[in-house]
Amino acid sequence: MDNLLEVKDLKIWVAGAARPILVVDGVDLQVRAGSVLGIAGESGSGKSISAQSLIGILGEKFVYEGEIRLEGRLIGDGGEPFAAIRGREISMIFQDPLNSLHPQIQIGKQLTEHAGRSGQDSRKADKRARELLREVRIPDPDWAMKAYPHQFSGGMRQRIAIAMALVGDPKVLIADEPTTALDVTVQAGVLRLIKRLCVERDLGVMIITHDLGVMNAMADDLTVMYAGRVVESGPATQVLQSPRHPYTEQLVGSLPAGPARDGGRARNMRAIAGEPATPRNRPAGCAFHPRCPWAEDRCAVTVPPVEYRGEGRRSACLVDPFFSVDDVRKAAAR
Amino acid sequence: MGVRSSFWLFVIKRLGISVFLLWGVATIMFLAARLVPGDVISVMLGEEAAADPVARQAMIERFGLDRPVPEQYYLHMTNLVQGDFGISMRTRGPVADELARAVPASLELGILAGLISAILGIFLGTLSALQRGKLADQLIRVVTVTGISVPLFWLALVALYVFSFKLQMFPGIGRLSPGVAPPPTATGMYTIDALLAGQLGTFADAFMHLLIPGAVLAVFTMTLITRFTRSAVLEVLNEDYVRTARAKGLTSVRILFAHVLRAAFVPIVTVIGIMFGAVLAGAVLVEEIFNFPGIGQMMFRSAVFLDMPGMIGIGLVVAVIYVGISFVTDILYGVIDPRIRVS
């Protein structure tokens, strides 16, 4: 299967007081058309920064290195400028719909002001905006075009933000914590909408969240990040059901009623011991080793490489405590 | 319910509040005038005549001071509503006539100073925010600190000395050069009247007379507007919706004008409204130094002469200007920020 968006060895530095701090360290990501890639991790794991770097909106304080390819074409440094990509081929929606729409501009205006570039006249843009509002299930598009963001609920505003992201007919949609700020009751609706758009429009979706429940419902592929590095990636159901990395395992274990490895039997919630590592004080070796129950001496010295674990799965753990002979047999049988 | 009709409701409500405010100010001034220590009659009659009880009594009856206070209040207010501000003790003419000459002159000067300070202030403040920490920002900050620290009267004198006396680039004091006849009165503002009458030479002369005092008057407010604009723009630049605008692929020019400045305008408009008060206060010194016959000079002279009707007249005019500005700012809020007019 061809990758729509492919990121190789992404490194991001942020200007620090003394010297630049490496906040994202060698991240690889692949987004396929018509499927959802989930990126999971705690706050400070570098997932949002990685996503924002893909459309070049991080600002002057950040410097990135690595290869970003859209349908094989290099974008960003040394390739097509981000300005030509964002909103057109890669769109993004953000966490807090209450603040991500301009409070003083009518919805219609916000939905059409970036359409002019594709050579449409304003009436066409207007018509298209109404269609998009209908597509994201905003009840009264004609009224909505003239209304202001504060006249909508959080869920409705996120739907409007999604419509806004679709104006340029993008190939990739990046959703940064799209439901975290919403009531639980409306979260499902917004997620279903994203999933439906993904399928109907053959859109490559990248969804960033710390909520594994969302991942379980949404993601086809899953990448787990910790302290700016990828610790595990693979098909979402497999990663969630049989994690290969201790961090993923603990993350799944911290879910109240998550997809447990033992077949979903009720368990006690477990908190992950210790404090999450931040890029500012990333432990040497494997960044997770101070919190890891399986850690050995070598984990504090060597940074584990991201290694192939069969069936499109990868994980970065020297110990690999969840290695099982069954997995090997299954892989061999294929 | 349409957004439009709720907007007019909002305008009418604010208008009602403004009228109420003016009534309050007029009442307080009436009461304050009765509370001022000193014998008004003695001041008006002079020491010799005040010793004569018959003259005293005549004066008291003439001004209705023997009537009960509520009745005096009623007369005072009805006179005000009819535009009668009384007779000036300094010029011996109606206060209303002097105000009719002074107010347009000050308005002309104040509007020019306001325009200079708003345009320059918003421009410099925005530039400063966008270049945060860089050379342009540092320079602008030095200029604003200087602008706030320098006393206005000193600046006025230096400007007069340098530009009018040494460089001879601008005419000196007054509203027009000697020998230039004032344009026919329409608004009382010489520049506008000259334009209306098609007298371009008179317009140029009047405008040149405005420029130096206007610029001096603008310095202080300009520096404050610059600082407020800088912090307002910096705050908006951090907002999520600016990131959204960037993610949509808008050009940075469009983001700056359509999104950032639009949001930053709410605090900036507030400051500009308040700053107009500072312009009026500064006008007292500047108008006196440039011998510019506006309300600042009238205020100064009325105070020196203890001219009570004159001071009450000016007080009311200043109140009208303040209330008018806050009315306009409130309406502008509504225009700029839809959340205010709907809630």
Quickly count: other Cβ atoms within 10 Å of residue B189's Cβ: 23
B8-17 long-range contacts, CB within 8 A, separation 24+: B10/B331, B10/B334, B10/B340, B10/B341, B11/B331, B11/B334, B14/B327, B14/B330, B14/B331, B15/B327
pLDDT digits 0-9 by tens, B86-102: 888 788 889 999 999 99
Number of folded domains that form chain B: 1
Question: A9-42 pLDDT, tens per residue?
Answer: 999 999 888 889 999 999 999 999 999 999 998 8
Out of A91, A113, A150, name the one closest to residue B247 (CB).
A91
- Between chains, do B339 and A100 touch, taking CB under 8 Å as contact? no
What is the per-residue pLDDT for A25?
Answer: 92
Query: Hey, what amino acid is at B150?
Result: V
Q: Is residue B124 part of a domain?
A: yes
CB–CB contact A102 B245 (8 Å)? yes
The shortest C-alpha distance from A150 to chain B (Å) reads 7
pLDDT in tens, A108-126: 999 998 876 555 578 888 9
Residue B82 belongs to a domain: no
> Nearest-CA residue of chain A relative to B239?
A99
B254: chain A residues, CB-CB within 8 Å: 113
For the segment B289-304, what is each residue's pLDDT rounded down to a tens digit?
999 999 999 988 888 8
User: How close is the nearest chain A Cα to the Cα of B65, in Å?
Assistant: 56
Please indicate whether, in this complex, the C-beta atoms of B262 and A104 are within 8 angstroms of each other: yes
pLDDT tens digits, residue range A160-208? 999 999 998 999 999 999 998 888 889 999 999 999 999 999 999 999 9
User: pLDDT at position B343, please?
Assistant: 47
Please tell me which residue of chain B has the smallest CA distance to A176. B244
8 Å CB contact of B339 and A96: no
Q: Indicate if the pLDDT at residue A57 is higher than 70.
A: yes
Query: For residue A64, what are the β-bridge partners?
Result: A12
The residue among B237, B241, B339 with the most chain A CBs within 10 A of its CB, best to mutate, is B241
- Is A164 in contact with B259 (Cβ distance < 8 A)? no
Window 228-267 of B: residues touching A by CB (8 A cutoff) are 239-241, 243-251, 254, 258-259, 262-263
CA closest to A95 among chain B residues: B240
Structural domains in chain A plus CATH codes: 32-54+82-89+170-333 (3.40.50.300)
Dist CA A333 CA A329 (whole Å): 6
The confidence score (pLDDT) of residue B40 equals: 66
State the pLDDT confidence band at B203, using cuts at 50, 70 and 90: very high
Q: Is B212 exposed, middle or buried (0-12, 13-18, 19+ CB in 10 A)?
A: buried
Return the residue matching tokens 């329409």: B186
Q: Could you tell me if residue B93 is inside a domain?
A: no
Pairwise pLDDT comparison (B31 vs A233), residue with the higher score: A233
Query: Model confidence at A265, in pLDDT bands (50, 70, 90)?
Result: very low
- Which residues on B lie below 8 Å from A117 (Cβ)? 249
Q: Is B75 inside any structural domain?
A: no
B282-291: per-residue pLDDT in tens?
Answer: 788 899 999 9
On the question of pLDDT at A134 being above 70, the answer is yes
Contact B249 A83 (CB under 8 A): yes
Segment B106-111 mean pLDDT? 91
Q: Which of residues 41-100 of B touch A (CB under 8 A)?
A: none
Tell me what ipTM this predicted complex has: 0.84
> Would you call A103 and B337 a contact, using CB atoms and an 8 Å cutoff?
yes
Give CA separation, A29 vs A293, B15, B100, in Å. 28, 60, 75
If phi > 0 it is left, if psi is from -120 to 50 it is alpha, else beta; for residue A175 that is beta
Nearest CB to B248: which of A99, A114, A146?
A114
Q: Which of residues 195 through 224 in chain B touch A, CB cutoff 8 A?
A: none
Q: Give the end-to-end CA distance of chain A in Å, rounded to a whole number.
A: 18
Residue B313 lies in a domain: yes
Task: Find the CATH number of the domain harbouring B156.
Answer: 1.10.3720.10
* H/E run at residue A252: helix A246-253
Contact B241 A99 (CB under 8 A): yes
Evaluate whether residue B316 is within a structural domain.
Answer: yes
- Going by pLDDT thresholds of 50, 70 and 90, the confidence category of residue A2 is confident
Q: Find the residue in B nearest to A149 (Cα).
A: B339
Please give the residue range of the domain that contains residue B207: 3-37+100-342
**Within a domain: B66:** no
Chain B hits for A166, Cβ within 8 Å: none
Question: B7 pLDDT exceeds 90?
Answer: no
**Contact assessment for residue B205 and residue B180, using Cβ atoms and an 8 Å cutoff:** yes
C-alpha distances out from residue A78 to A20, A64, A181, B39, Å: 22, 12, 36, 86
Please provide the distance, in angstroms rounded to a whole number, between the alpha carbons at the two ends of chain B.
13
**Chain A positions in Cβ-Cβ contact with residue B336 (cut-off 8 Å):** 104
Helices (H), chain B: 3-35, 40-45, 47-50, 53-62, 69-81, 95-130, 135-149, 152-159, 190-197, 200-237, 240-247, 252-254, 261-289, 295-304, 308-336, 338-342
Task: Examine the pLDDT at B111 and tell me if it is beyond 70.
Answer: yes
B99-115 burial string, b = 16+ CB within 10 Å, else e? beebbbbbbbbbbbbbe
User: Cβ distance B175 to B207 under 8 Å?
Assistant: no
Chain A: closest CA distance from residue B269 (Å)? 15
CA distance linking residue B279 with residue B111, whole number of Å: 9
B237-249: pLDDT as tens digits: 999 999 999 999 8
Q: What is the C-alpha separation between A233 and A160, in angstroms, rounded?
A: 31
Contacts of A94 in chain B (CB under 8 A): 240, 243-244, 247
- Please tell me the predicted confidence (pLDDT) of residue A120: 56
Residue A39's nearest CA partner among A191, A248, A242 is: A248
Mean pLDDT score across all residues of chain B: 86
Cα distances (angstroms) measured from residue B214 to each of B125, B137, B171: 20, 25, 13
Residue B192: phi and psi, rounded to 5, are: -70, -40
The verdict on a CB contact (< 8 Å) between A150 and B247 is: no
**Model pLDDT, residue B3:** 55
Residue bearing the bigger pLDDT, A6 or B80: A6
Q: Is the pLDDT of residue B305 over 70?
A: yes
